[in-house]
DNA sequence: GTTATATTTGCAACAGCGTTGCAAATCCTT
DNA sequence: AAGGATTTGCAACGCTGTTGCAAATATAAC
């Protein structure tokens, strides 16, 4: 709870109920959530616009990050502390069965060689498969 | 031209102008295209619905594949021949400057270890950076 | 604690992507 | 050239995300 207040202060964001609740929801979720899932968990007490604006603020400050899935679906999750925005390596896992999205790692991994002329800046790896819970 | 006809036949798709033109456009593009870019290149001679349905057919037959970008944007590109749908490794490159998307490779690459319980099926790597043309 | 200013919220409206239902047009077979 | 099956266009819709503006709330100053 205090860490959420701290997070808001560090990023110069005022402590409003909506912001606090969204951060609480995302940190307890375990998986990445879509905007509608977030709003659902908050009991539809906040307007769609407000949630989107709040998420956008958090994204700008790198408090959260977004994961884009096939078909254009977007999920949001807490950013593991102090991610450097450039030169970053992200691994996410999408479960084909429960469609849950997990943040696996934000640490460097081996990357394939690119053709001459392409200068990489960051890497996003999305792994599809069966997650922990769905593997019986 | 004949290879496009062959591609349609192999996949049991009738040879309609719309299908032929979309495949021609995608094979000559060099980069992945969005639905609106495709329709633009076809001079808005086809309905949005028709283009979407055509793309969906091509996706189902694995004639083309889609790449999902940050913010939910989707681009479409030809599938390099005979991609096996499972156990596949895809590398795509997004240029931060010209926002072009390139298919780099569909061949296996080193992948990071996943936590216990996660069974990977396929890997999609999206690299952000500066592309060939934009590197002066 | 009260006032004033800046920020945040809700509402209404809008834009874009992708889908469905249905009727008209086109394709493939014979 | 005629038949039925497939494809296309149109209208309408749903969902995600955005903007403008007025009301509500937070922050700072007194």
Q: Is residue A112 part of a domain?
A: yes
Q: Is residue A60 part of a domain?
A: yes
Closest CA to A82 of A110, A106, A108, A111: A106
**Residue A83: pLDDT above 60?**
no
User: Residue B14's pLDDT is what?
Assistant: 92
Q: Is residue B66 part of a domain?
A: yes
Q: Which residue of A has its CA nearest to B56?
A: A71
2-61 of chain B touching strand D, CB 7 A cut-off: 13-14, 16-19, 45-47, 49-50, 53-54
| B122 vs B81: CA distance, rounded Å | 17
Quickly list DSSP for B38-66: HHHHTTT-S-HHHHHHHHHHHHHTTSEEE
Q: Looking at the partner chain, which of A66, A119, A131 has a beta carbon nearest the beta carbon of B118?
A: A131
Task: Tell if the CB–CB gap between A132 and B114 is shorter than 8 Å.
Answer: no
User: Residue B103's pLDDT is what?
Assistant: 94
**Residue A101: pLDDT above 80?**
yes
User: Residue A2's pLDDT is what?
Assistant: 75
The alpha carbon of B5 is separated from its chain's Cα centroid by a whole number of angstroms, namely 19
Closest CA to A99 of A31, A43, A52: A31
Q: Is residue B18 part of a domain?
A: yes
| B98 vs B103: CA distance, rounded Å | 15
Task: Tell if the CB–CB gap between A114 and B104 is shorter than 8 Å.
Answer: yes
**What b/e string do you get for A57-92 counting C-beta neighbours within 10 Å, with b at 16 or more?**
ebeeeebbbbbbbeeeebbbbbbeeeeeeeebbbbb
Q: pLDDT tens digits for chain B (136 residues)?
A: 678 999 999 899 999 999 999 999 999 998 999 999 999 999 999 999 999 999 999 999 999 999 999 888 999 999 987 656 567 899 999 999 999 999 999 889 999 999 999 999 999 999 999 999 998 7
Residues of B in contact with A125 (CB under 8 A): 111-112, 123-126
Q: Is residue A52 part of a domain?
A: yes
* DSSP character at residue A130: E
Report the CATH number at residue A53: 1.10.10.10
Compute φ and ψ for A118, nearest 5 degrees.
-95, 120
Residues of B in contact with A106 (CB under 8 A): none
pLDDT confidence tier of residue A78, bands split at 50, 70 and 90: very high
Instruction: Tell me the average pLDDT of chain A.
Output: 91
Q: Which domain range does residue A86 map to?
A: 2-129
| B24 vs B63: CA distance, rounded Å | 12
- Give residue for tokens 């004949």: B2
User: Residue B83's pLDDT is what?
Assistant: 58
Number of domains within chain A: 1
Count of positions (residues) in chain B: 136
Classify the C-alpha dihedral B67-B68-B69-B75 as positive or negative.
positive
Q: Is residue B136 part of a domain?
A: no
Question: Is the distance from CB of A42 to CB of A24 less than 8 angstroms?
Answer: no
Question: What is the helix (H) or strand (E) element at residue A83, kind and residue range?
Answer: none
Tokens of A112: 């394939």
Question: Is the distance from CB of B51 to CB of B18 less than 8 angstroms?
Answer: yes
Q: Is residue B134 part of a domain?
A: no
User: Residue B57's pLDDT is what?
Assistant: 95
Q: Is residue A136 part of a domain?
A: no
Non-local (6+) Cβ contacts of A132 within 8 A are B115, B116, B117, B118
Non-local (6+) Cβ contacts of B47 within 8 A are none
User: Residue A119's pLDDT is what?
Assistant: 95
**Residue A49: pLDDT above 90?**
yes
Q: A45 to chain B nearest CA, in Å?
A: 25
Tokens of A83: 């991610």
Number of helices and strands (H, E) in chain A?
Answer: 4, 5
**pLDDT, tens only, B70-83:** 888 999 999 987 65
41-60 of chain A touching strand C, CB 7 A cut-off: 45-47, 49-50, 53-54
CB count, 10 Å around CB of B82?
7
Question: Is the distance from CB of B33 to CB of B5 less than 8 angstroms?
Answer: no
CB count, 10 Å around CB of B75?
23
User: How would you classify the pairing of strands A74-78 and A119-130?
Assistant: unpaired
Question: Is the distance from CB of A95 to CB of A131 less than 8 angstroms?
Answer: yes
């Amino acid at each position: 709870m205090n860490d959420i207040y701290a997070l808001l202060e560090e990023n110069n964001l005022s402590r409003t109920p909506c912001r606090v609740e969204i951060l609480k929801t995302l940190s307890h979720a375990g998986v990445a959530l879509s905007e509608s899932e977030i709003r659902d968990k908050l009991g539809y007490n906040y307007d769609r616009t407000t949630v989107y604006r709040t998420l956008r603020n958090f994204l700008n400050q790198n408090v959260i990050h977004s994961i884009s899935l096939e078909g254009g679906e977007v999920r949001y999750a807490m950013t593991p502390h102090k991610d450097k925005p450039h030169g970053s390596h992200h691994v996410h896992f999408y479960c084909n069965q429960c469609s849950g999205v997990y943040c696996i790692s934000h640490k460097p991994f081996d990357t394939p060689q690119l053709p001459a002329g392409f200068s990489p800046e960051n890497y996003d790896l999305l792994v599809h498969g069966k997650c922990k819970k769905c593997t019986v």
